[in-house]
Amino acid sequence: MDHSALQRFLGYELARARVETNRAFFDSVGGPLQLRPLEFSLLLLLRDNEGISQHGLALTLNLRPPNLTTLLARLTCRGLVHRECSDVDRRVQRVRLTPGGAELVNRASKAAASMEDSIRHRYSAAEWALLLELLHRAGPANPDI
């Protein structure tokens, strides 16, 4: 089977690698804690950036506003996050973890620590760090608002 033509494309290799990271995520975190990948990212971001606006979240995670709205609605229904109007600008919704949300993030973070081990063990420590660094440079230019 010749797929040498495809292997020259970063997009193809990204799609292939995602098969493995998705499996790792659902086995270790997504399944046990009933979290989607995006929900996990969002909760971790809220843990480290208390009271961030939806606008900031959308920019950081490259989400369109409608998709963030439905994502937050689902997490709000589960009692993991809550939204409150900003005092200084009533258009802005500031998002925070609830105590239950903070507790779940804690468990998710612990479970995630080893989730990619089966992939990471294919590399030396230096190679793994290099892969993450090189890959980061392929991402959108300005995710840090």
Partner DNA sequence: TATTGTTATACTCTATAACTATA
Partner DNA sequence: TATAGTTATAGAGTATAACAATA
Q: Which residues bind DNA (CB under 7 A)?
A: 15, 18-19, 22-23, 36-39, 53-55, 58, 62-70, 72-73, 83, 89-93
**Is residue 89 within the footprint of a copy of itself (CB under 8 A)?**
no
Query: Which letter does DSSP use for residue 8 in this model?
Result: G
CB of 134 to DNA, least distance (A): 20
Residue (14 or 129) nearer to DNA, CB: 14
φ, ψ of residue 79 in degrees (nearest 5): 75, 25
Which one-letter amino acid corresponds to residue 66? P
Query: What is the dihedral sign for C-alpha 125, 127, 130, 134?
Result: negative
CB of 127 to DNA, least distance (A): 24
Q: How far apart are the first and last CA of the chain?
A: 45
**Is residue 13 within the footprint of a copy of itself (CB under 8 A)?**
yes
* Pairwise CA distance, residues 138 & 135, whole Å: 5
Query: The tokens of 132 are what?
Result: 């993450």
Footprint of a copy of itself on 41-60 (CB under 8 A): 41, 44-45, 47-49, 52, 56, 60
**Is residue 121 within the footprint of a copy of itself (CB under 8 A)?**
no
